[in-house]
C-alpha cells in the first residue's frame, strides 16, 4: 500500500509532494497586486485597472483579473499562497487522501470553498485544508471545529476545489464509511485530550445526503446561500460606511465648535487684558 499523502511543513524535507509549491517566504508583507506582478502573471497596468475596479463593492481584485482574462484561477491561487506564505496545491496533481476529505460535510466544504486533503504529521493531529481564501477566518474556524483537528491552510484554485467536491459527490456517496467514522471519532478524542482544560468541545456535524447528479452540478442551493450571505455582508458594510460617515461629520462639527470656542476664549482674554 502506498503511503498516504502529507503536505510538507514549510522549510522541511528535501522536496514537496507532487502538486505542492512552497512559498518563497513567510508572507504577510506584500500586497496581492504586487505579488501578481512580481510572479509575472499580469502586467502592472492591468493589475492597477483591476485594483481600481475592485474599489467598488462586488468583486475582488483577483475576480476582476480572472474575469478580464489577465490571470487564470490557478495563477491567482499561486499568488494568494505566496502572499500569505502558504503552500500552493494543484489539486489536479496532488494525491488527495479520502480519509481527510471525509472529515467535514461536503455542504460545509462547498460553502467555504475549503476541503481537507491530507494529514500533516505522523500523529495525524493536524489536517491540511485546501482553501480558495485562507484569509477567511470564519471558514478556518468552522472547518477546524467540524474536523475536530488542528488545520494547516494551503491554497488551491477555487474551480479545482469545486471540481474535487463534484468528484467526491459522484464517487463517494453521502455518508462516511464505518471505519472512517471510527477514525474520525478517535481523532476527535485525541484532539480533546490535547486541548486546554475548559476549552470548547469540537463540534460534530452529520454528513450530508448524497448530492444529486441532475441539475448540472454541485450544490446549487449552497451557491444560493453563499450569494445571500455575500449580499448580507455587503449590506452590513454599506451600513457601517454610513455610520462612519455620520461619525466623521459629527467629529468635524465638534472640531469646528471647539475652534469657535477657542476663538471666543481668546477674544474674551484680550478684552479682559485691555480692561
Separation CA 257–CA 260 (nearest Å): 5
- Res 113: pLDDT: 93
What are the domain boundaries of the chain?
Answer: 23-86, 88-218, 220-275
Any residues with CB less than 8 A from the CB of 65 and at least 6 apart, and which?
36, 42, 46, 47, 50, 71, 76
Cα angle 31, 36, 38; round to 5: 90
The answer to whether the pTM exceeds 0.75 is no
The domain covering 88-218 belongs, at the CATH homologous superfamily level, to Type II secretion system, protein E, N-terminal domain (3.30.300.160)
Closest CA to 104 of 164, 43, 16: 164
Count of CB atoms within 10 A of residue 120's CB?
Answer: 21
Helix, strand or coil for residue 244? helix
- 12's grid cell: 522541511
- Res 201: pLDDT: 38
Q: How far is CA 234 from CA 58, 239, 240, in A?
A: 8, 9, 10
- Res 3: pLDDT: 43
- 57's grid cell: 463593492
Per-residue pLDDT of the chain (275 residues; tens, 9 = 90+): 444 444 544 334 567 889 999 998 877 778 999 999 999 999 999 999 999 999 888 889 999 999 999 999 999 999 999 999 999 999 999 999 999 999 999 899 999 999 999 998 766 788 999 999 998 888 899 999 999 999 999 999 999 999 999 998 887 433 333 344 445 445 545 444 544 444 433 333 333 333 333 344 445 556 666 666 666 666 666 666 667 666 767 777 777 777 777 777 777 777 777 66
Amino acid at each position: 500500500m502506498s503511503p498516504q499523502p502529507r503536505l510538507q511543513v514549510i522549510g522541511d524535507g528535501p522536496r514537496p509532494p507532487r502538486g505542492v509549491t512552497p512559498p518563497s517566504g513567510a508572507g504577510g508583507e506584500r500586497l496581492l497586486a504586487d505579488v501578481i506582478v512580481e510572479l509575472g502573471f499580469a502586467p502592472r497596468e492591468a493589475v492597477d485597472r483591476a485594483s481600481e475596479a475592485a474599489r467598488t463593492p462586488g468583486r475582488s481584485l483577483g475576480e476582476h483579473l480572472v474575469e478580464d482574462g489577465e490571470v487564470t484561477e490557478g495563477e491567482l491561487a499561486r499568488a494568494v499562497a505566496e502572499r500569505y506564505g502558504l503552500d500552493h496545491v494543484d489539486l489536479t496533481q496532488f494525491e488527495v487522501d479520502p480519509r481527510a476529505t471525509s472529515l467535514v460535510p461536503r455542504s460545509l466544504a462547498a460553502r467555504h470553498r475549503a476541503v481537507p486533503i491530507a494529514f500533516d504529521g505522523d500523529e495525524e493531529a493536524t489536517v491540511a485544508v485546501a482553501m480558495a481564501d485562507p484569509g477567511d477566518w470564519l471558514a478556518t474556524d468552522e472547518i477546524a471545529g467540524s474536523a475536530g483537528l488542528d488545520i494547516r491552510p494551503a491554497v488551491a484554485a477555487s474551480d479545482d476545489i469545486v471540481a474535487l467536491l463534484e468528484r467526491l459527490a459522484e464517487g463517494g456517496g453521502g455518508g462516511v464509511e464505518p471505519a472512517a467514522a471510527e477514525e474520525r471519532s478517535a481523532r476527535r478524542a485525541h484532539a480533546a485530550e490535547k486541548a486546554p482544560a475548559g476549552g470548547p468541545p469540537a463540534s460534530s456535524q452529520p454528513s450530508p445526503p448524497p448530492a444529486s447528479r441532475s441539475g448540472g452540478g454541485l450544490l446549487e442551493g449552497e451557491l444560493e446561500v453563499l450569494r445571500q450571505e455575500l449580499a448580507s455582508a455587503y449590506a452590513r458594510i454599506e451600513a457601517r460606511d454610513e455610520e462612519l460617515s455620520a461619525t466623521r461629520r459629527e467629529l468635524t462639527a465638534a472640531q469646528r465648535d471647539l475652534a469657535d470656542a477657542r476663538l471666543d476664549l481668546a477674544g474674551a482674554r484680550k478684552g479682559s487684558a485691555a480692561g
